[in-house]
Structure 1
Amino acid sequence: MAPTPDFIRDLRTHIGSADLWIPAVRGVVVRRHDAGAALQEPEVLLVKRSDNGAWTVTSGILEPGEQPGEGAVREIEEETAVVARPVRVAGVFATHLVQYGNGDRCRYLDTVLEMEPVSGDPRVNDDESVEVGWYPVSALPEPLAEDQRMVIGWALDDGAPARLLTG
């Protein structure tokens, strides 16, 4: 399980493992240029999680009062050593119920941001992942869940309005 912020641990002392609604962010870092030249196809920065071996875009829980753009920048740098900047909100959606091994249950309200790299070379930068790298969109690693493919697609749809899932 990814590290749990202190404010969530404090809440859990009061509510136990009951469902918790948590604001979160997913930063989809898209590289369209390398050293000033256009790439043949865009690449996406992905991390392989240490807890379950799944490949994901960088994501995390927002701190109380933290803006989604700030949270995405923070999470990306903490996990990958890449500095990125928000380009646009690509979408917003609520995840399904997640239950962790310790019994804690939660649902995340994910703000998905298209991000562009500013500086830094990707590397494993904390204990939340075991691999980090750029992947061309035609050769994304497995396992990559359907919701990850969805948010990558949203971010790659350059300039499209934000998507909101319904129903």
Structure 2
Amino acid sequence: MPTPDFIRDLRRHVGTAELWIPAVRAVVVRRRADGRVLPSPEVLLVRRSDDGAWTVTAGILEPGEDPADGAIREVQEETALTACPVRVAGVFAHGPVEYTNGDRCRYLDTVFEMETLDGEPRVNDDESIDVGWFPVTALPESLAEDQRMVIGWALDAGAPAQFTEPGTSHTEAAGEPAAQHD
């Protein structure tokens, strides 16, 4: 997966030391299609090219980038859809993550419920090998627990932003590997 230039620049100074990285997850929800209400909401998932995992759209924020703008950008870059944030569904930290090259980091994710404005989803860059709408009643069995958590947060329409239990990280609490960001 491509690493942002500003992260590569930081790595020249800090090597593989752990970085704290702000990121976004965009849970694009579709409740209507072709002018009709769907029997079950659908969420947009991408299948990552590096490990084949299905995930919601996610990515690292650029320096100074507003999280909502980052979520819009990530959805467009990865799926060619134009989407807009509906609300912040939650915020959580996870990690540590260690990549095969030894780089270590922890992510602070701002999770957005999003809705589409325009376009049909398609693979739009080399980060994904597939993209599609999934009814929430038929999500891929292999979908990681943290992905299910953020989808649940986004589907809780109108709820205030949610958080993991104070004093625990999501990764520690769930015993699951943390999702990677690009």
State the TM-score, normalizing by the size of structure 2: 0.90
| Aligned equivalents of 2:40, 2:116: Cα separation in 1 | 15
Where does residue 158 of structure 2 map in the other structure?
Answer: 159
The Cα of 1:164 is off from its aligned counterpart by 1.6
Q: How big is each residue's C-alpha offset from its partner over 1:11-54, in whole Å with a ceiling of 9 and x where there is no partner?
A: 00000000000000000000001122111110000000000111
**Residue pairs, 1:58-97, within 5 angstroms:** 58-97=57-96
Which deviates further from its counterpart, 33-42 or 145-154?
A: 33-42
| Aligned equivalents of 1:139, 1:45: Cα separation in 2 | 12
CA contact (8 A) 1:58 1:75 kept: yes
Amino acid at match of 1:115: M
| Aligned equivalents of 2:22, 2:37: Cα separation in 1 | 35
Q: Matched residue of 2:158: which SS?
A: coil
**Residue pairs, 1:17-166, within 5 angstroms:** 17-165=16-164, 166=166
Q: Matched residue of 2:95: which SS?
A: coil
Q: How big is each residue's C-alpha offset from its partner over 1:72-131, in whole Å with a ceiling of 9 and x where there is no partner?
A: 000001000111000000000001210001000000000000000111111110000100
Cα RMSD over matched residues?
0.7
CA contact (8 A) 1:47 1:56 kept: yes
CA contact (8 A) 1:55 1:142 kept: no
Runs (4+) of structure 1 moved beyond 4 Å? none
Structure 1 residue runs of 5 or longer lacking an equivalent are none
CA contact (8 A) 1:28 1:112 kept: yes
Amino acid at match of 2:135: P
Q: Matched residue of 1:134: which SS?
A: strand
CA contact (8 A) 1:48 1:54 kept: yes
Amino acid at match of 1:102: N
Q: Matched residue of 2:146: which SS?
A: helix
| Aligned equivalents of 2:143, 2:17: Cα separation in 1 | 28
Q: Matched residue of 1:90: which SS?
A: strand
Amino acid at match of 2:28: V
The Cα of 1:142 is off from its aligned counterpart by 3.6
